[in-house]
Each structure stands twice: as structure tokens, then as C-alpha cells.
Structure 1
């Protein structure tokens, strides 16, 4: 054990227990440290940004808050990945979770198995939203201006013989989508792969969960996505669902 690290951590814990901060003498007493040692460590922690001194008391600094935020972020991500693994086992197919954030498609998590591998990202998912169910589902949740902004940066382009050919055809497809219904895509992104995505209500950000299957299993697609839809409600009700991850 490294004693100086242990002592510094005890001081951080002491500071963290006081929302309005505390003076050095009180922190030294609570951490069980000699005052000179506490002063030395408090100066070091302040220099490194883990503490701030304000009006004679010490409060947590930006570096400590980033650590705490990173831990919360990791916990949220772990919860989402655990949920995806549950859905994967339930539907017997790879499961994806994606959001549309800051003008881009972002795959937050994927859960698959060696027997049921996820679709290989051979063309950047972010730039090919027109060609896969995930992207079409997300684009369908945006307003017209937001979609056109995406098309301006990532033009519609055929990836396979089955990909939608142009923006007009894609807009017609999006316009025909029924609210909260699955989006089905067959070999538009990758030959030999079919995919289905369902829209997710997650605050004011467009989100989706999706599954993929090899073409020879396409008869399972509607059943599998139906199972996924029936399970997703549990995710939204049991998790403090946040997509700020």
C-alpha cells in the first residue's frame, strides 16, 4: 500500500462529504491526519485540480468531478450493455443500440455472440444511415431540416444493388413509415444480411434498438423484432435511462 495515496484519498472523501466545503483543520481531523500532512496533501490536490480553495474552505475541483462523472458514465454504459446482452439472448440475434447525437449516428452498444455475430461495419455506419435500418429509423424521427442537414454531409449512395437509390426515394420511404413501427431493411447495407430497427423514446434525442440476421434466417426477422419490442419496455422502466453517455 502507498500511504500517501491512501491519505490523499481519505482527504478527498472528507471534502466530498461537505457540499459547502470544509477548512483544513476539520478535514485533517476527519481524515485522521496530522495538520502539516493535511496541508501538504491539500496543496498538492489543489494544484492538480482535484480540489479548489474558496473563502478558506476546500471543495471538490474539476478533476475530481470528471472522475465522478466518468464513473457514472461507465456505470450507465455497463447497464446498457447488460440490457443488450439480455435482449440478445431473448431474441437469439445480435442487438444494437444507437442514437442520433450532434448531427451524427452513434452506435452506443452492440451485443452479439460467436454463433450470432453482428453485421460487420464495412462502410462507416455514421455516413451510411440511408442504407441500414438503424439509420433509417433514426432519420425517420428527425424533422425535414435535420434530415437534409444529414444528407448534405452524407449523400445517399448505393452500397448494394438493393440500397435506396436517391434522397427522393429515401424521403418517400421515410414518409410512409408508420409511427413507432419497426423499420425493415434487406441487404441494403450488406449483402446476405437483413435488419430491423425500432424507435426508442429517450428524452428529446432520437434513439433506436435493432437486430440483424443472416439472409437465410430472414423468416425469423419479424418474430425476433416483435420479441425485442415486447422487452424494451422493461429497459425503459427499470433503468434510469440516460443517453448522455
Structure 2
């Protein structure tokens, strides 16, 4: 994230057992069981950090190993999964194109809510998704100040140094969040960046207790950000960011309930859309 003084354009994280339970369940009326199982396996791989063994999928999904093997080989043949030299399987590069396209559509859908946050608070508002072990910014509504924060849509960052990343990880079961962090390069972007796993676990406990996350200049000095995760199935978080001089504790106190309201509104809108297409 960087300061931008003149660019007016737009720019710019459930428990791991859920997919496992669904994978073993029979297909719902009107659906194709093989497709449901393949999607559940992809989600289970993402829950495990993006790389997993077939035996792990068998142990957690309840599906027979031959069934998992056929599904994974089919996905690998289409580029949605790839086999590692360790014989484990990882999410494949073809998913990136789907994720980028879906992310852009989510960003367009969320921008009116981000604009409301900017109108109320003045600072840049962001929407970010957790994809595997990275956070990707999918929408931003620029702040009203001449000196404002600007993050490119599509930018990918590690979750440990961002408020949106912390908020998203705090939604997870602690064991799953730690597994994601084991696959994350804990780079120290500033002296404030948390690079110790135990210290980061303690930070996530604070986020869970507070209901929101704060980036205290951990990605870039002089920048402060506060974020709230959406409560629905979409692994997304909304945030506002700005210079530390303007992002005072008083502003954060005002921002948190507005961020929570925006997150709840997005979840409600998504539920209505799902109900309309069911």
C-alpha cells in the first residue's frame, strides 16, 4: 500500500472440516455429485494451505481413496491441480484466471458499500479476499483527501502484515490459521511487522476478541489500517486505510461499527442472491 497524492482512479480475509463433511455427503437434488465432490476437494486443499496429500484428503473427506484419486487426476488434467515432486497435490495455475475474474466481479458488486464508507469516514476503503496463503485486493474506493492511500486492484500480499489478512485468518480455526501461516513467508516489511508465529497467534487472539484487526504500520510505515471480516462463506474483509496522522484511535472507534455494518450488508446481499438463484 502506498500514499497517492493525485491519482483519482480506483485501486487497492469456517472451520476446515466444512468441505470435508460436504465431500462425503450425497449430492443435493438437482446437482451432480461428482462436481460437488471435486469442488469440495479443491476447497479442502485451499483450507490446508494449497498443498496436500491424497491420504490427507481421504482422512478428512470420508471419500474412498480411489474416488479421490480419479477426481484429482481429472482436475490435474485440466490444470486446476498439479502434482508436486513430493507426490503431494497443489492447487493449479488455471485457478488463478478464474479467481482473478471472480474477484473483479466481487469488487464491482461491493463498490457501492465501499463508497458509503468513504463518504462517512473520508479514508480509502478496500475489499480483499484470501486466496490460499495470500490476500488479494479486489476493490478500492479512493479517499476524499488529496493525500490518500492507494492499493492496486489485483495486488497480492502476505496476510501477516495487513489488517485484512489478520481479520481473515482470525475467522479460521486457530489450527487452520497456523497451518496457513506455516506456508507464508513472514517477511519483515517494517520494524512493526510480526514475524514470529507465536506472537502472531497471540495477535489473532486479540483480533478474535476485539472483532476487528489493525495494521499498525506493519506493511508500510506511516500507514494505519483497520479491517473487519465478512461473516458469510466468502473469505473477504473490508477495511479503511490512511496516514497514521489521520487514522487516530477516535477515527478507528467510529470506523469499526461502520465496517461491521458494511460487512453484514454484503453478507445479506450475497444470501439474497443465492436464494434467488437456488
TM range (shorter): 0.5 to 0.7
CA distance in 1, matches of 2:103, 2:228: 24
Q: Which moved more, 1:163-172 or 1:107-116?
A: 107-116
Structure 2 counterpart of 1:218: 247
Q: Which runs of 5+ in 2 are unaligned?
A: 1-100
CA distance in 2, matches of 1:74, 1:164: 30
Aligned pairs for 1:143-154 (under 5 A) are 143-154=173-184
Structure 2 counterpart of 1:79: 109
Is residue 117 from structure 1 mapped to residue 138 from structure 2 by the alignment? no
CA distance in 2, matches of 1:238, 1:183: 23
Which deviations, in whole Å up to 9, do the C-alpha atoms of 1:52-77 show, x marking residues without a partner?
Answer: xxxxxxxxxxxxxxxxxxx9997654
CA distance in 2, matches of 1:192, 1:72: 32
What RMSD over aligned residues (CA atoms) do the two structures have, in Å? Answer: 3.2
Q: Which has the larger radius of gyration?
A: 1
Which deviations, in whole Å up to 9, do the C-alpha atoms of 1:90-132 show, x marking residues without a partner?
Answer: 22211111122344322221111462633447xx964421111
CA distance in 2, matches of 1:73, 1:125: 11
TM-score (norm 1): 0.58
Structure 1 counterpart of 2:238: 209
The number of aligned residues is 170
TM-score (norm 2): 0.52
Pair 77,130 (structure 1): closer, same or farther in 2 beyond 3 Å: closer
* Greater relative contact order (CA < 8 Å, ≥ 6 in sequence): 2
CA distance in 2, matches of 1:72, 1:151: 24
Q: Which runs of 5+ in 1 are unaligned?
A: 1-70
